[in-house]
Every structure is written in structure tokens, then in C-alpha cells.
């Protein structure tokens, strides 16, 4: 990751690329710092892929604690009572998020601050990409996605 482009300045990846615009619910520098902390940890430990317990030790406590925790029995009950087409609306559990982020289908490029909003640019190399896994990082970091899509 190019540290000089973490929050100010920067350039976009080769076109077309994916951009995510983020409303800052807290200080933009804190949000970007939180997001970058997670991205850097993911990049440091991707090969070989750690166990779920190892990930819990690598990732910051504030992030690990942001996940929805259910017992196996509660998860089964939830799945029986919620229609399958609405399962994607349930909050992430840690193991499912790890599965999605492992096979994310995107590569981090840049984060910049522009007019009070953060903008993340990604290179996507498969579609659909697991962008919801990145959304979890953004929301847990104090951001709210305003818009996302292709830039040509």
C-alpha cells in the first residue's frame, strides 16, 4: 500500500475501477486510520491464512467486538424463522466475514479525503466481488457508505 496516499492526495487506479464514497460519522482521519489498520493486518497475514482464533488476536478488539455473536442454537432458530431471501440482511458473524474477506475479489488501492468525505478506490478482479465484507470494515470504523460504483 502506498502510505503517501492514505488520506490526502493520491491517484486512481487504471480505469475502470470501483469507488466507494463514505460519509464520516466521526473524524475522517480516525475512520481512515481504522480502515487502514484492518486492511494492513489483512495484507500482513493472508498467506498462510490464519485460523479464526488467530484472526481474533491479530485484529483490533474494537473490530472483533463489532460482530454479531450467536450460539449455534440461536443461529439455527434465526435461520428457521427468517426467510432465506432475507439472510443477507442479517449482521455479519466473525467466521462468515472471514470467509468473505479471504476471497474478496478486489484489491485495495487508495483512500483520500475530498470535500469532507472519504473516497476509497479498489481494483476489482472478479464480479461479484465481496464488497459487503469491506462495508463491514467501513461501518465498524465509523463511516457510512453514501454511494459506490464503477468509474471509467
Sorted by where each begins, the domain ranges of the chain are: 3-151
DSSP notation for 37-106: HHHHHHHHT-SSPPPHHHHHHHS-HHHHTTS----HHHHHHHHHHS-GGGGGGSPPPHHHHHHHHHT--E
Q: Which percentage of the chain shows pLDDT scores above 70? A: 89
Distance CA 58, CA 151 (A): 33
10-14, 35-39, 55-59, range with the lowest pLDDT: 10-14
Distance CA 73, CA 148 (A): 36
What band does 6 get if pLDDT is binned at 50, 70 and 90?
Answer: very low
- Three-class secondary structure of residue 151 per DSSP: strand
The 10 Å Cβ neighbour count of residue 9 is 11
- 127 has pLDDT over 90: no
Interhelix angle 28-44/131-140, nearest 10 degrees:
130
Amino acid at each position: 500500500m502506498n502510505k503517501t496516499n492514505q488520506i490526502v492526495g493520491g491517484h486512481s487506479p487504471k480505469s475502470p475501477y470501483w469507488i466507494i464514497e463514505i460519509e464520516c460519522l466521526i473524524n475522517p482521519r480516525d475512520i481512515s486510520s481504522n480502515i487502514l489498520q484492518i486492511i494492513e493486518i489483512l495484507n500482513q497475514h493472508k498467506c498462510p491464512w490464519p485460523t479464526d482464533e488467530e484472526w481474533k488476536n491479530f485484529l483490533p478488539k474494537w473490530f472483533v467486538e463489532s460482530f454479531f455473536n450467536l450460539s449455534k442454537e440461536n443461529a439455527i432458530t434465526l435461520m428457521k424463522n427468517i426467510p432465506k431471501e432475507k439472510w443477507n440482511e442479517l449482521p455479519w458473524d466473525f467466521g462468515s466475514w472471514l470467509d468473505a474477506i479471504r476471497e474478496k475479489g478486489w484489491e485495495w488501492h487508495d483512500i483520500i479525503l475530498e470535500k469532507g468525505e472519504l473516497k476509497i478506490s479498489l481494483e476489482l478482479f472478479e464480479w461479484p466481488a465481496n464488497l459487503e465484507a469491506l462495508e463491514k470494515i467501513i461501518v465498524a470504523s465509523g463511516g457510512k457508505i453514501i454511494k459506490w460504483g464503477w468509474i471509467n
